[in-house]
Structure 1
Amino acid sequence: MKQKFSTLLIIAVAMLVLAACGTKEGAKSGSDTSSDGGDNKVYVVGTEATFAPFESIDANGNIVGIDVDVLNAIADEVGIQVEWRNIGWDAVFSTINNKETDIGGSGITITEDRKKTFDFTEPYYESKLLIVVPSNSKVKSLDELKDKKIAVQINATGHVAAKKLQGETSTNILAFESQPFAIQEMLNGNADAVIGDNAVVYEYMKANPDKKLKVIEDAAFEKEYYGFMVRKGNTELLDKLNEGLQKIKDNGKLKEITNSEFWKE
């Protein structure tokens, strides 16, 4: 009886081993579930969700906006999954390098300085800086802000423009975590003007029609282009994103989402 039980036990173990081997081979023949870029890998996207219309939080707590729609459309085209996390502007950059996130998506302007540390997709949106002042302000140009207090989003291109105008160490430059907060600080009387991205400025004014604001365009501001950001050297992910981006350019989805087709100029 004991010998018969041992024989049965050996057979049972052998069947389990064979079953385990079959499961492993099945996984190989299906979708790649490894952590090195397989179809089922979830790529984490870091954003700062107070940058409407590109990203904001809706009534249900979801991150929504142009960037979300564009990247989700790209992901659908190339068969990858993305997960959005609202982590704050500075963290969008630091978490890429720390490998806590895979993609930066937050209306990020492609600049030569940023390209030294990160890789960017091809552009998906054209933007331009604007000056925002109270409606009763007498300011008419960027040059008139040389000795005035300027509120900006920290480390954004508006911040760069303000430092270019006033100097790197100017105490008249007030840097805040978000562009809407910078505008509110100006309205509170703590700054004379704001320098920020055009679409975000107009979205703020649309959402706050009671705020008495005036927009100034200045020829000193050049066109800017947004791209999705990845870790330097992550060519596998970058190629996937560019492939998907090209597809939604070609099929008209990008134009539908952004209401823009600057790349065809």
Structure 2
Amino acid sequence: MKQKFSVLLMVITAVLVLAACGTKDGGNASNDPGTDGDNKVYMVGTEATFAPFESIDADGNIVGIDVDILQAIADEVGIQVEWRNVGWDAVFSMINNKETDIGASGITITEDRQKTFDFTEPYYESKLLIALPSDSTISSLDELKDKKIAVQINATGHVAAKKLQGEMSKNILAFESQPLAIQEMLNGNADAVIGDNAVVYEYMKANPDKKLKIVEDDAFEREYYGLMVRKGNKELLDKLNEGLQKIKENGKLEEITGSAFWKE
């Protein structure tokens, strides 16, 4: 009886050990976002009112140039991405909090941002411009020194406005999105908007009834967009750069953006 009990105990122990090993090995195959393994899903944070780079379509999907670029990169290097519309400031904070892996929202690569985040090679060239009501007499950036300027908060247009008027200027009105800044100007709450050229022109295309005029000023320098990751996340950064290089070489990036500035 004692011998039979010992055999039974050995069988039960072996079963438990095998079960434990199966649980441990299976953990790497999780489909949950943020887990490691072949099925890892990289979470992408964006602010989806920045057409044509990202917006929400009639079915509630996030669409746009950034979406197409990142999906093309993902296809080239064999990764999965999932998009979340989180808001502009949250695009940055959620990466630092490890709630997302990638920031993609027409993000300009700047020296200040590079202190906190890592960026891919540039994929798009942009430039700031001034949007005004059609009856405005303003014709240069210098004329905005004592005017009310609407901007997207913490975007490069906001930086340019503070450079012009000072960090603490009460004439700078910062809003969550660039379209909202434009609308506030049209409502009479600001004299001008400083924003990204492609987004302003897309707004004008989508809203032909809104009477706007554009001023391009040589004081604005060229800007370059990049995909953003957590500082030191070299593995992901290398994957994104690898895919980006491939879609530059095969023409897919130029097809998506209509631009080939990197060949200049």
Name the SS of the counterpart of 2:105 in structure 1.
coil
Matched, 1:69 2:68: yes
Aligned position for 2:187: 188
Letter in 2 for 1:229: M
Q: CA deviation at 1:72?
A: 1.1
Contact 1:33–1:39 (CA under 8 A) maintained in structure 2:
no
Aligned position for 1:90: 89
CA distance in 2, matches of 1:135, 1:34: 47
Q: Mapping of 1:101-116 within 5 angstroms? A: 101-116=100-115
Letter in 1 for 2:85: N
| TM-score normalised by L of structure 2 | 0.91
Aligned position for 2:146: 147
| TM-score normalised by L of structure 1 | 0.91
CA distance in 1, matches of 2:33, 2:115: 30
CA distance in 2, matches of 1:207, 1:32: 38
CA separation of 1:99 and 1:144: change in aligned 2, threshold 3 A:
same
CA distance in 1, matches of 2:97, 2:32: 23
1:197-232 alpha-carbon deviations (Å, 9 max, x no partner) = 001001100000000000111111110000011111
CA distance in 2, matches of 1:166, 1:130: 16
Letter in 2 for 1:245: L
CA distance in 1, matches of 2:123, 2:33: 30
Name the SS of the counterpart of 2:44 in structure 1.
strand
Letter in 1 for 2:87: G
Superposition CA RMSD, Å: 2.6
Q: Percent identity?
A: 84
CA distance in 1, matches of 2:66, 2:228: 12
CA distance in 2, matches of 1:17, 1:92: 44
Name the SS of the counterpart of 2:240 in structure 1.
helix
Matched, 1:263 2:258: no
Runs of 4+ in 1 over 3 A off after TM superposition: 1-28, 30-37
Contact 1:103–1:228 (CA under 8 A) maintained in structure 2:
yes
Aligned position for 2:157: 158
CA separation of 1:179 and 1:31: change in aligned 2, threshold 3 A:
closer
Matched, 1:200 2:199: yes
Q: CA deviation at 1:31?
A: 10
Q: CA deviation at 1:67?
A: 0.6
CA separation of 1:175 and 1:23: change in aligned 2, threshold 3 A:
closer
Name the SS of the counterpart of 1:51 in structure 2.
coil
Q: Which runs of 5+ in 1 are unaligned?
A: none
CA distance in 2, matches of 1:131, 1:207: 18
Of 106-115 and 4-13, more deviation after overlay is shown by 4-13
Q: Mapping of 1:235-246 within 5 angstroms? A: 235-246=234-245
CA distance in 1, matches of 2:166, 2:247: 41
Aligned residues between the structures: 264
Q: CA deviation at 1:76?
A: 1.2
